[in-house]
Amino acid sequence: MNPVAKPSNPNPSVSKNAAVKDWSWPFWYLVPIYPYNQKRTIRIEVVKDWIWTFEQVQGIFYVVVPIRMTVIRLEKGGLLVYAPVAPTPECIRLMQELVAQYGEVKYIILPTISGLEHKVSVGPFARYFPIAQIFVAPNQWSFPVNLPLSWLGFPKERTQILPFDSSKTPFFDEFDYAILGPIDLRLGQFGEVAFFHRRSQTLLVTDLVISLPEKPPAVLALDPYPLLFHAKDKASDAIQDNESDRIKGWQRICLFALYFQASSLEVPHWLAVWQDSREAADHSLKAYFGLFPLKWKKDWQQTFDTLRGGGRLLVAPILQQLILNRQPQETLNWANKIATWDFSRLISCHFDAPVTVKPEEFRQAFSFLEKSCPASQRLPVKDLATLQKIDQFLYRWKITPPPKH
């Protein structure tokens, strides 16, 4: 892989304000999450002259993870873009370098119906590539009011719904895809489209399947503060930038992002949090005024290792407990179809990518939906406890439909 990263100030003659403008994302308020209006981008060449990923960062309370789009060169010239990221000046410049060499962006794919962090970028991204056709997953919706896509910034004359029959698309000679959903959640719907690039044997997914790297992805090194913040054990710990703390912070971020509250994490009483904050080394806004409402038990590392499973493919615990169990058979049918494709590489929009994988390993990630799934393949019940409580609350109060077995 060949990352192209922009340091904070690559040229001493370029002002800091110019660099900040290069990372500017003016529509951050539509999904107001970290790093808000400043999004840096790295481009990674996955398959030489054929596939690239563009990575940025997103998160809440410094629980930051990569968000990734994939660009694939078409055999007849031009590019296909899967799940666009924020089109900052830096991102578009990196894209235009590919356009100059391989041809115009011909197709832009929105592969999800519920991922706001993906949907919000499509309209602004498409404006930079005026000949591109936009294909979106079926059953799009918006909250709190369900608005037409054109009202959400999608170019009306260039936007169309992905047909369930992939052979009816202009790129079928190079790609196949499978649509999951919609899964009815009452408050909204969940759906995702996985794309298969035949030439490179690459499977593209959005949120459904992930792999956790042991070390933080390269894009997080552009601003390691969130990693170092979560490496602290208590409020009074000073921030120290070293590889060990970066890894420690990343692994705790993974537990926080995927479990909310794993068994190895305690949340102290707010009175204790406030008292501890008085001993903090930094009381700035950046450090949340010294507040650190987290307390990790000694076995947190084991909890991460169990979740990671050596880097295996994994369906995020949140999706396991709150979404896919609403339509388990439909989800398994979708996974079975994908497992018939001859892929050897997987690129997800989050966490690690690319991942070397076999179709049967992809299918195994969904075995948690089956009664015959061995206990060794299931996540620990103690770590799922918080998500199970949320699940029970939601369907007890008829906010969501009950899970199916």
Give the range of the structural domain holding residue 354, as residue numbers without chain letter.
2-211+325-363
> pLDDT value at position 148?
79
Percentage of the chain lying above the pLDDT 70 cut: 95
Instruction: Please report which residue ranges of 218-369 form alpha helices under DSSP H.
Output: 225-230, 243-259, 270-277, 300-308, 317-322, 328-338, 359-364
Q: Are residues 230 and 173 in the same domain?
A: no
Q: Quote the DSSP letter at residue 34.
A: B
DSSP 8-state code for residue 47:
E
C-beta of residue 212 within 8 angstroms of C-beta of residue 316: no
33 shares its domain with 156: yes
CA angle 189, 194, 196 (to 5 degrees): 165
The residue type found at 104 is E
Mean pLDDT along residues 172-180: 98
Residue 405 lies in a domain: no
Question: Tell me: the pLDDT tens digits for 386-396?
Answer: 999 999 999 89
Among 401, 343, 321, CA closest to 178? 343
Q: What is the per-residue pLDDT across 105-158, written as a single tens digit (0 to 9) for each?
A: 999 999 999 878 899 999 999 999 999 999 999 999 877 677 778 878 899 999
The answer to whether the CB of 58 falls within 8 A of the CB of 64 is yes
How many beta carbons lie within 10 A of that of residue 231, not counting itself?
23
- Asked, for residue 237, whether it belongs to a domain, the answer is yes
Residue 54 lies in a domain: yes
Q: Are residues 93 and 53 in the same domain?
A: yes
The reported pLDDT for the residue numbered 18 is 67
User: Is residue 125, in this structure, part of any structural domain at all?
Assistant: yes
Q: Which of 122-126, 236-240, 242-246 has the lowest mean pLDDT?
A: 236-240
**Distance between CA 224 and CA 347 in Å, rounded?**
23
Both 358 and 298 in a single domain? Answer: no
Q: Would you say residue 117 lies in a domain?
A: yes
Interatomic CA distance for residues 115 and 206, integer angstroms: 9
CB 98 within 8 A of CB 131: no
- Band of pLDDT at residue 298, cut at 50, 70 and 90: very high
| pLDDT confidence tier of residue 265, bands split at 50, 70 and 90 | very high
> Does the residue 386 lie in any domain?
no
Cis peptide before 84 (omega within 30 of 0): no
Residue 368 in any domain: the answer is no
Residue 229 and residue 196 share a domain:
no
Same domain, 78 and 227: no
**How many other C-beta atoms can be found within 10 angstroms of the C-beta atom of residue 389?**
13
Does 148 lie in the same domain as 23? Answer: yes
The reply to whether the predicted model has a pTM over 0.85 is yes
Say whether both 224 and 85 belong to one domain.
no
Q: How many residues are recorded in the chain?
A: 405
Are 275 and 349 part of one and the same domain? no
Q: Write down the pLDDT at residue 20.
A: 83
236/120 same-domain check: no
Describe the chain by its helix, strand, coil percentages, rounded to 5: 35, 20, 45
pLDDT at 203: 98
Instruction: Provide the total of helices (H) and of strands (E) in the chain, helices listed first.
Output: 11, 15
Predicted confidence (pLDDT) at residue 248 exceeds the cutoff of 80? yes
Q: How far is CA 264 from CA 64, 119, 149, in A?
A: 19, 34, 43
Residue 66: give its domain's CATH number: 3.60.15.10
Q: What's the pLDDT band for 11 if we cut at 50, 70, 90?
A: very low
- E strand map for 137-283: 159-161, 175-184, 189-197, 202-205, 265-266
Shared domain check, 330 and 270 = no
Q: What is the mean pLDDT of residues 96-102?
A: 98
In a domain, 404, yes or no: no
Please identify, among 263, 280, 309, the residue that sits at the C-terminal boundary of a domain: 309
* Structural domains in the chain (count): 2
Residue 287 shares a structural domain with residue 145: no
